[in-house]
Amino acid sequence: MPAFSLEPEQTAWCAELRALAADRLRPLADQGEPGRVNRSLVAELGRLGLLARLFTSGAVDLCLMRESLAYACTEAETALALQGLGAHPVHVHGTPAQRARWLPRVADGSAVAAFALSEPDAGSDAAALSLAAEPDGRGWRLTGEKCWISNAPEADVYTVFARTAAGTGARGVTAFLVPADRPGLTGSALDLLAPHPVGALRFDAVPVTADDVLGAPDRGFRVALGTLTLFRPSVGAFAVGMAQAALDATLAHTARRDAFGGKLRDLQTVAHQVAEMALRTEAARLMVYAAATAHDTGAPDVPRRSAMAKLLATETAQYVVDAAVQLHGARALRRGHLLEHLYREVRAPRIYEGASEVQRGIIAKDLYAGAEAGR
């Protein structure tokens, strides 16, 4: 599929998703508590079959879902994405027993999954994580902390990355699948600007065994990077959905708002600002779907494309939403306004799943490696 063109069925599906998000998911989102897991919303995503598609679709379909849901209901988009992020390692690396126990429940929305990589002192530098997995004769005991974990502490199961070999950087990390009811596992919620369910986890000699390992011991960083490479373009799709919602709201507002003897849109400075917003949004969209297509076709430069897509789209969304607020004026600052909501939502994606600075590092490293190899 060309990166710049969607098939008619895909376009129709996106329209259907936007309608579902507005009619069935938005009311459930409004009933939820900001910063908490909305299990009714997750269950409805399961009933609609959207969570199951996380495990049967490629990167392009994931991006289509995230962009379409984000346009009409960012809370639904986030709930879907966090289920995928937490359970994707199980889907790809899990044992038959792990997959049988958790994937059907994640898919129907009866279990909430989470991806536990970041720590208080290991955010952007994920290879520096220090959660210790100490051998105990029957397996390991996990001791330490995780922080900035989506869906924590309310998730039912966590993909947890712990250090099984000291002093080896990324090569000494193992991924474990840890149910929330394991003894010694506790957590607390964090109150953030964005209304996302995010928390911290405390591991006090939490027992895990070989049956809980995802992939191979000491090779867990591959699990993490594979998951992030898939989801980074779709973070860009989330951002594009928010940017498009802000752009459409601005088009409507500037077309009807009276100012200086005409409509706002009649002012050249306003019209050019709106044109710039549209230009950047479309450019970001193209890069997102180019990266997603590269992922689905097995292109060799997927990590760089994924980093570029996330970087451009999240920075673009920040610009577009901020410009939309400016053109709406003080009304956009009122609690409950669409743009007030988007303004709080749009800041976080520039940080999570690799901050913008991390994406620039990935891009530069790949470019210099390619130049040295004569690519």
State which of 85, 108, 131 marks the end of a domain.
Answer: 108
What does the block give as tokens for 100? 């049988």
Rounded to an integer, the average pLDDT of 190-219 is: 94
Task: Report the pLDDT value the prediction gives residue 166, as an integer from 0 to 100.
Answer: 79
Distance CA 302, CA 290 (A): 10
What does the block give as tokens for 131? 């959660």
Using alpha carbons, select from 348, 357, 311, 360 the residue that is nearest to residue 148. Answer: 348
Residue 353 annotated as catalytic:
yes
The confidence band for 24, taking pLDDT boundaries of 50, 70 and 90, is very high
Yes or no: say if 35 and 195 are a contact pair by the CB < 8 Å rule.
yes
Same-domain status, 226 and 369: yes
Number of domains into which the chain is organized = 3
Q: What is the CATH number of the domain that holds 367?
A: 1.20.140.10
Over the chain, what is the mean pLDDT? 93
The confidence band for 126, taking pLDDT boundaries of 50, 70 and 90, is low
Of 67, 77, 345, 353, the active-site residue reads 353
Task: Report the pLDDT value the prediction gives residue 134, as an integer from 0 to 100.
Answer: 94
Model confidence over 155-199: pLDDT tens digits? 999 999 999 987 666 788 999 999 999 999 999 999 988 888 999
In a domain, 289, yes or no: yes
In a domain, 63, yes or no: yes
Q: What is the CATH number of the domain that holds 187?
A: 2.40.110.10
Same-domain status, 26 and 119: no
Model confidence over 71-111: pLDDT tens digits? 999 999 999 999 999 999 999 999 999 999 999 999 999 99
State which of 67, 90, 108 marks the end of a domain.
Answer: 108
Instruction: Indicate if the pLDDT at residue 25 is higher than 50.
Output: yes
The confidence band for 114, taking pLDDT boundaries of 50, 70 and 90, is very high
Same-domain status, 290 and 152: no
Same-domain status, 258 and 198: no
Distance CA 192, CA 199 (A): 10
Task: Report the pLDDT value the prediction gives residue 3, as an integer from 0 to 100.
Answer: 44
Any idea what the Cα angle at residue 65 is, between residues 188 and 7, rounded to 5°?
165
State which of 218, 243, 261 marks the end of a domain.
Answer: 218
Q: What is the CATH number of the domain that holds 18?
A: 1.10.540.10
Stretch (H or E) spanning 204: strand 198-208
Same-domain status, 266 and 128: no
In a domain, 1, yes or no: no
Instruction: Answer left, alpha or beta for residue 261, where phi above 0 means left and psi between -120 and 50 means alpha.
Output: left
The confidence band for 4, taking pLDDT boundaries of 50, 70 and 90, is low
- 157 - beta bridge partners? 113, 179
Range(s) of the domain holding residue 255: 222-373
Same-domain status, 228 and 334: yes
Yes or no: say if 328 and 320 are a contact pair by the CB < 8 Å rule.
no
Provide the whole-model pTM. Answer: 0.92
Instruction: Indicate if the pLDDT at residue 370 is higher than 90.
Output: no
Instruction: Indicate if the pLDDT at residue 5 is higher than 80.
Output: no
Using alpha carbons, select from 238, 243, 272, 270 the residue that is nearest to residue 256. Answer: 270
In order of 52, 179, 186, 234, 329, the CA distances from 43 in angstroms are 12, 19, 24, 22, 37
Q: Any idea which residue has 């502490």 for tokens? A: 153
The confidence band for 29, taking pLDDT boundaries of 50, 70 and 90, is very high
Instruction: Indicate if the pLDDT at residue 120 is higher than 90.
Output: no
Model confidence over 293-311: pLDDT tens digits? 999 999 989 999 999 999 9
Same-domain status, 194 and 333: no
In a domain, 3, yes or no: no
In a domain, 53, yes or no: yes
